Amino acid sequence: MSKIIVFGASGQLGQCLQHVAKEKGITDIVFLPEEQANILKPEVLQAAFAEHQPAYCINCAAYTAVDKAEDEVELARQINRDGVANLSKLCGEFGTTLIQISTDFVFAGTGNEPLTETDEAEPISVYGLTKLEGEQVISEYTEQFFILRTSWLYSEYANNFVKTMLKYGRERDEMKVIWDQVGTPTYAIDLADCILTITETQNQQYGIYHYSNEGLTSWYDFAKAIFELSNTTVRTLPIRTAEYPTKATRPAYSVMDKSKAKTQLGVSIPHWRDSLEVCISRLEA
Burial class (CB in 10 A: 0-12, 13-18, 19+), 118: exposed
- Distance in angstroms (rounded) separating the CA atoms of residues 22 and 20: 5
**Sign of the torsion angle spanned by Cα atoms 249, 75, 206, 122:** positive
- Distance in angstroms (rounded) separating the CA atoms of residues 137 and 38: 18
Residue type, 2: S
Active site residue 141: no
Q: Per the residue annotation, which of 56, 63, 127, 154 is the catalytic one? A: 127
- Distance in angstroms (rounded) separating the CA atoms of residues 130 and 13: 19
- 73 vs 68, 137, 186, CA distance in Å? 8, 17, 26
C-alpha 171: how far from its chain's center?
A: 28
SS3 call for 59: strand
Residue type, 178: I
C-alpha 119: how far from its chain's center?
A: 19
E runs forming strands in 124-166: 145-150, 153-154
Would you say 23 and 64 are in contact if contact means Cβ atoms under 8 Å apart?
no
Rounded to the nearest 5 degrees, what angle is found at the Cα of 231, between the Cα atoms of 229 and 233? 125
Residues with a catalytic annotation lie at 127
